[in-house]
A and B are shown apart, each in its own frame.
Chain A
Amino acid sequence: AQKITQTQPGMFVQEKEAVTLDCTYDTSDQSYGLFWYKQPSSGEMIFLIYQGSYDEQNATEGRYSLNFQKARKSANLVISASQLGDSAMYFCAMRGGTSGTYKYIFGTGTRLKVLA
């Protein structure tokens, strides 16, 4: 069975500082994708970053980077230089490749609050 675990229900960070949101996963698939989404209070899920299981380098997208440690089954999101607009719910998600499932498995989310 596939599972995503986000152990931080809420996080605070000072504006302009970096913050790491934790995500661990469990899967028997050899190939899979890991994703992070941001959901502001407006409700829309915004895709942030993707890491494939066979990618050897950590993914980066602007201020977002994904710290991928395959052996530890972790895919932490690092946000550098936090901005007030980063305050939102963040979901880690996984999609398996070989088991035939098309489903995204979402974690329970981490609510991030950026302080001025």
Chain B
Amino acid sequence: DTEVTQTPKHLVMGMTNKKSLKCEQHMGHRAMYWYKQKAKKPPELMFVYSYEKLSINESVPSRFSPECPNSSLLNLHLHALQPEDSALYLCASSQDVSAYNEQFFGPGTRLTVL
């Protein structure tokens, strides 16, 4: 199984809503990532989890809250988002955080904040 799954595929939410994005992998990978991608731009790293511990937070606003319940799951909790947070949110995983390991990406969640 070389697949990273993400739910939901699409999400529309108001600025006062609370929602969560979910990501799952069953490849035994110990590193998981959240990226944000605006249209026609490369992905921007948000968070890195290594062995279920948060190792990098790229100065992401606190309205985004990551959670890694176990080695296969990664959540991104959303609260009080702004319209400029509308983007494609990509989850990825890799064997570990070594430079030599490719990341496998999920299909993404297209988020629209109204």
Q: Bound state CA distance, A49 and B47, in angstroms?
A: 24
Residue of A nearest to B89 (CB): A43
Residues of B in contact (CB 8 Å), total 27
Whether A43 pairs with B43 at a CB distance below 8 angstroms is: no
What's the nearest-Cβ distance from chain A to residue B52, in Å?
15
Residues of B bordering A, CB below 8 Å: 31, 37, 40-43, 45, 48, 50, 55-56, 88, 90, 92, 97-108, 110
Interface mask (A31-43 → B, CB under 8 Å = 1, otherwise 0): 1110101000011
What's the nearest-Cβ distance from chain A to residue B35, in Å?
9
Whether B98 pairs with A109 at a CB distance below 8 angstroms is: no
Interface residues of A in 82-105 (CB under 8 A from B): 91, 95-97, 102-104
Please pick, from A44, A91, A108, the residue contacting B107 in the complex, using a CB distance under 8 A: A44
Query: Nearest 7 A-B pairs (CB), nearest first?
Result: A97-B99, A106-B42, A45-B105, A102-B97, A44-B107, A95-B99, A43-B108
**B31 partner residues in chain A, CB cutoff 8 A:** 102
Residues of A bordering B, CB below 8 Å: 29, 31-33, 35, 37, 42-47, 50, 52, 91, 95-97, 102-104, 106-109
